[in-house]
Amino acid sequence: MAHYELHHANCFDWLREQPPVSVQGVCTDPPFGIVEFLPHEMAKLRNGRGGVWRLPPTIGGSQRAPLPRFTTLTPQEREHVRIYFREFGEALIPVLVPGAHVFVAGTPMLQYLVQSGMAEAGFEVRGAVMRLYRGFRGGDRPKLAEQEFPEVCVTPRGAYEPWMLFRKPIEEKTVAQNLRKWGTGGLRRLNVDQPLPDVIQSGKTPIIEESISNHPTVKPQQLLRILVRSLLPLGEGQILDPFCGSGSTIAACQAVGYDAIGVEVDEEYFSLLTMNIDEFSALYPKYKGATLEMPTECLPAKPKYTESQQGSLL
């Protein structure tokens, strides 16, 4: 039976204390804007006002979730993103076995900085898996001039989320040899006839999942189970989430049957992890991430919208 362990710690400090070549894969949704999860910004989010988090109003009966405003980052803060991920990669790479893959959730505006930093740390950039979904990010008219420029949008409406993929270089001459020695170097196929694709259609995180945790960036179990399952090509090893937040990634590992390690620095989020993981992993017990779509019997019930709410989602 799969098991997991949790650590209340700063992941940089925790990684420096871990034995080398002890983790076979990583899947994480980090604070890729860095500033948005600093203690003072989290306090503003929890108080519902101010800071980098955009707290939009209820529109047409549909409540938007908070979103960090990465357009507010200064050039110095953007450079800090690159440096941050270089240092994160430098702390992470010794802990991984050769050929271990890393999934890092990102945002299109900062993706190049994350990839640059991780590459400088010694990782191979292996592209990304694109999560396609209907979101509320972007597409806004010029602020305070919406009526003056009704046919203008400042940025495109977001419809995808990149899960950047990295690999620690293999140690053997070939991937096959690395697989035999370390069990890593490739990705697990969905089945013998279907490799993992680089585009996954993913809906909004279901209400039943959002109700488990108040974390602002809970990702859907459908997506997470597909991703974590792919990280262990032979189905053996353990997955690390160094920014485990709501615990949804650790729960996905439990559902798939993988051992996992979670590290979380925020005291409030950490205190709820065990309860969250138990609830997330209990959902959709027949779904193990081996298909891109959940079987019909696993799908959560669709919420009922009023006519005005339906219009706001189009």
- Print burial letters for 74-104: b (CB count within 10 Å at least 16), e (below 16): eeeebebbbebbbebbbbbbebbbbbbbbbb
SS3 at position 93? helix
Half-sphere exposure of 40 (CA within 13 A, CB side): 4
CA separation for the pair 137, 139 (Å, rounded)? 7
pLDDT tens, N- to C-terminus, the chain (314 residues) = 799 999 999 999 999 999 999 999 999 999 865 554 455 444 554 455 554 444 444 433 444 444 445 456 788 888 889 999 999 999 999 999 999 999 999 989 899 999 999 999 999 999 999 999 877 778 889 989 999 999 999 989 889 999 999 999 999 999 999 999 999 999 999 999 999 999 999 988 999 999 999 898 899 999 999 999 999 999 999 999 999 999 999 999 999 999 999 999 999 999 999 999 999 999 999 999 999 998 877 776 665 544 444 443 33
In the chain, where do the E strands start and end?
Answer: 4-8, 23-28, 53-54, 58-59, 62-63, 67-68, 96-105, 124-132, 160-167, 199-201, 238-241, 259-264
CA separation for the pair 183, 174 (Å, rounded)? 12
Catalogue all structural domains in the chain, each as residue range(s) with its CATH number.
Answer: 4-313 (3.40.50.150)
Q: Which contacts qualify for 170-178: CB closer than 8 Å, 24 or more apart?
A: 170/98, 170/99, 171/98, 171/99, 172/98, 175/99, 178/98, 178/99
Taking the model in full, what pTM does it have?
Answer: 0.84
Token pair belonging to 312: 């706001």
Q: 30 to each of 85, 110, 305, how far by Cα in Å?
A: 10, 12, 32
SS3 at position 100? strand
First to last CA, the chain: 43
Total H helices, total E strands in the chain: 11, 12
Strand duo 67-68 + 96-105: pairing: unpaired
